[in-house]
């Protein structure tokens, strides 16, 4: 039983962003950290990010970048720039960290929630960006909550008697109605794409039935410099400033 969790996703090797989120969570009462995948990819500190999550005893599922880095998916699924980062990541990760990524489950089931990266229908690849796709996952969901990432956009959906409605994250918190089932996306820690460059995460209080959508600033310039210093594609540095 985990009454209160810190929910992360899509860290993508961005250590300053992860450290900022972990520091913020350290000031909260949290029973466990849960991560919806894509620990690596795009960013220059994949090994350090894996190490931080393991020290934090985070429950994690595998994202598409994690799976491909570990050889579970072909590189052909990615564009040239993303493929270059995955190939580089393979060269810098020690074998035990590659094994950690390889052994992560694609779906994690707990008492109150199910965790995936994309969706229950396509755990590694499907994006839940609209009510129709969310409805397909609700039809497969046998818990009150589904936790997901992949889109890098904070928010989610509620199913009320078969009506699938997007959550309004702009208020900062959402009351979780007893009659509803919920799909919750904490947004991206390391590469937000919703127009807000700050690191995104969420806190879910199952006892109080509330989700808090959170943002925290971090040293974006440090991550940009790290990407360029590692020789990774510069577009992955430039987009951090825009949150896109």
Q: What is the pLDDT of residues 19-43, one digit of tens each?
A: 999 999 999 999 999 999 999 999 9
On the question of pLDDT at 1 being above 80, the answer is no
Q: Nearest to residue 123, comparing CAs of 106, 135, 140?
A: 106
d(CA 98, CA 175): 39
Contact status, residue 36 vs residue 63, Cβ threshold 8 Å: yes
Strand pairing report for 113-115 and 108-109: antiparallel
Write down the pTM of the prediction: 0.96
d(CA 5, CA 203): 6
Q: Residue-wise over 14-40: b if at least 16 C-beta within 10 A, else e? A: bbbbbbbbbebbeeeebeebbbbbbbb
Angle, alpha carbons 128-134-136 (nearest 5°) = 115
Where helices occur in 1-118 by DSSP H, the ranges are: 15-26, 46-55, 64-69, 80-92, 95-103
Contact status, residue 67 vs residue 101, Cβ threshold 8 Å: yes
d(CA 14, CA 199): 10
pLDDT score of 170: 85
Q: Kindly state the average pLDDT of the residues 213-224.
A: 97
- Judged by DSSP in three states, 27 sits in coil
Q: Kindly state the average pLDDT of the residues 58-66.
A: 98
Per-residue pLDDT reduced to its tens digit, 129-172: 999 999 999 999 999 999 999 999 999 999 999 999 999 888 88
pLDDT score of 169: 85
Torsion of Cα atoms, 38 then 195 then 48 then 126, to 10°: 0
pLDDT score of 244: 86
d(CA 218, CA 24): 11
Domain boundaries, given as residue ranges, for the chain: 4-242
Phi, psi dihedrals of residue 158, rounded to the nearest 5°: -125, 140
The CATH homologous superfamily for domain 4-242 is Metallo-dependent phosphatases (3.60.21.10)
Q: Kindly state the average pLDDT of the residues 220-227.
A: 97
């Amino acid at each position: 039983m985990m009454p209160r969790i810190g929910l992360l996703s899509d860290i993508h090797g961005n250590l300053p962003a992860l450290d900022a989120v972990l520091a913020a969570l350290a000031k909260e009462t949290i029973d466990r950290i849960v991560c919806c995948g894509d620990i690596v990819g795009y960013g220059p500190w994949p090994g350090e990010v894996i190490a931080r999550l393991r020290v934090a005893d985070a429950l994690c599922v595998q994202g598409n970048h994690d799976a491909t880095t570990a050889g579970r998916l072909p590189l052909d699924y990615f564009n040239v720039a993303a493929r270059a980062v995955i190939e580089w990541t393979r060269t810098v990760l020690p074998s035990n960290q590659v094994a950690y990524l390889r052994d992560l489950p694609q779906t994690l089931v707990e008492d109150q929630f199910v965790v995936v990266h994309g969706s229950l229908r396509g755990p590694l690849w499907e994006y839940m960006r609209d009510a129709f796709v969310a409805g397909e996952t609700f039809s497969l969901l046998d818990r009150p909550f589904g936790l997901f990432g992949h889109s890098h956009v904070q928010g989610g959906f509620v199913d009320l008697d078969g009506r699938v409605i997007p959550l309004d994250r702009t208020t900062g918190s959402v009351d979780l109605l007893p009659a509803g089932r919920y799909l919750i996306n904490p947004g991206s820690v390391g590469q937000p794409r919703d127009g807000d460059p700050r690191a995104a995460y969420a806190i879910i209080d199952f006892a109080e039935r509330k989700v808090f959508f959170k943002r925290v600033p971090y040293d974006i310039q440090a991550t940009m410099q790290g990407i360029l210093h590692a020789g990774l594609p510069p577009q992955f540095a430039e987009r951090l400033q825009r949150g896109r």
